[in-house]
Amino acid sequence: MTSYVVVGERSTSEWVEPDLSILDDRRGPVPSLPVQLLPTPWRDWISETAAAVAAPADYVMQSVLAGLIGVCGAGVRVRVTPTWSEPMVLWQAMVGEPSTGKSAALAPMRRLLDQVEQERRLHDDVRQEAHAEQAKKGGDGRPFVASQIVASDADLETTVEIVAGNPRGVVLWRDVSTVWLDGGCDGGRELQIWLEAWTASGVSIPCKGRPPRSLASFPVSILETMRPDRLKVALQEGHEGLAARYLYVWPGPQPYHPLAAQAPRHDDEVLQRLRHLSRLARTPDDPCELAFDDRGREALDGVLASLHAERLKADGPAAAWLGKGRSFIARLAGALELLASVDAPRCRPGAIGREQVETAAALWRNYFWPHAQAVFDCAGLSQHRQRVRRAARWLVEARTKSVTREDIRRRALALSATAEETNEVLYRLDYLGFVRQDPAVRNVSRGRPANRRLVNPALAST
């Protein structure tokens, strides 16, 4: 028979305030775009464009990042250390209900990119002649591919052909109602190839009636609009690897803003900078490198140490998304340096230092992370998180002063979890401040704490 002994008592004043956000399954508030973190004229253009088209600035900002990535792509690379570099590739999601301004926000940047793309094609004659000469010497007989920045067809073979003729890569501009590239990432070999695109790695795919197409680098960025209901279903079906690679914005319902009578004043400045960045970028084999300096690496090291600790506390898709944080922050730091680039008189872009790293980290942690959390929370992805929420609600309703593991397993979870899974729930509830190990009771016969936890008295007033 197990016996217990009282070894002391602790004051209820030692309790931390419980984190009650676990009780709410509704979409919580998310931060607005910190547009002041972006350099001029981009931040002015974002604000003016959002007002002119009556769309959230969050969506317009995503189009700016996609435009930057589109003209640079794998022609620019961020060098963090001698052994770690990141391509200028981003996957971005604009989440929102129908008619919330997503399409309107995309259109202005798309028009500017179309203009840059047409200007590139003015020089395609030289490329086409070189392609014809290569074909005469025994080339593979594939047709010439025109210069392209933006594509909308998510067919994998088509995308590979476009990138074969555009080594810097392409942006898949997806203003459609589907998610995950029209279901083209359902699994298997095709999914693996798309995942390689996020790192601009080499790929080889079979082609119908032709030899396999092999590329040394397959850089593909994505800008995709997503409806919350369809995104929720897609996330519940799995694909954490895909979900972890997207930068999400989900601004939610917006107040009415009167339409701006004038067009954005900074269109010409933004177009000039897109042209400048297009000339700056080179090729995947010989990219323009943006290198971290010593102060930049020191700042990043501090950010990554904090990120490591935060990731250990997360689970499910949130943990996977945080795991990509180092890549996101490095790429965002590179993007910020590129956005600050001008033709003259400053010599930009230059080294990535503390300022760019701290700004990128703030943008990622204080803006993109809360938006990603809203996406993952509303999808109800983690079974573990669902159990924690269910047990937390039961504790609030039960108004009990203490519980055992079996109380939680039987009464809160209705035997839907194993004993070990219930332990994991209790560990999380302890971290959230709902319960704590009872220090007044010890299992004398076995020399370890009894399986009983005290319940935070503050829950009684919840």
| pLDDT recorded at residue 177 | 72
In angstroms, the CA 169 to CA 203 distance is 13
| pLDDT recorded at residue 345 | 47
> Are the beta carbons of 451 and 441 closer than 8 angstroms?
no
| pLDDT recorded at residue 7 | 38
31: its two tokens: 């931060």
In angstroms, the CA 290 to CA 42 distance is 20
How confident is the model over 334-373, as pLDDT tens digits?
Answer: 999 999 986 444 556 789 999 999 999 999 999 999 999 9
Residues of the chain with pLDDT under 50: 1-12, 343-345, 444-445, 447-449
Q: CB atoms < 10 A from the CB of 278, how many? A: 20
119: its two tokens: 């200007």
> Are the beta carbons of 378 and 248 closer than 8 angstroms?
no
| pLDDT recorded at residue 14 | 80
Select from 143, 151, 145, 156 the least CA-distant residue to 206: 156
In angstroms, the CA 180 to CA 162 distance is 19
Amino acid at 267: D
Contacts of 298 (CB under 8 A, 6+ apart): 354
- Three-state DSSP state, 51: helix
How confident is the model over 120-134, as pLDDT tens digits?
Answer: 999 888 888 887 877
Contacts of 396 (CB under 8 A, 6+ apart): 23, 459, 462
- Three-state DSSP state, 232: helix
| pLDDT recorded at residue 8 | 41
DSSP-assigned states of every residue in 181-225: HHHTTSSHHHHHHHHHHHTT--EEEEETTEEEEEES---EEEEEE
| pLDDT recorded at residue 344 | 45
Distances (CA, A) of 348 to 174, 273, 289, 308, 360: 31, 12, 12, 32, 18
> Are the beta carbons of 245 and 92 closer than 8 angstroms?
no
Rg (CA), the chain: 26
Give the chain's domains with CATH numbers: 27-379 (3.40.50), 382-461 (1.10.10.10)
> Are the beta carbons of 203 and 219 closer than 8 angstroms?
no
In angstroms, the CA 130 to CA 257 distance is 52
DSSP-assigned states of every residue in 113-156: HHHHHHHHHTTHHHHHHHHHHHHHTT---PPP----SEE----H
In angstroms, the CA 249 to CA 345 distance is 35
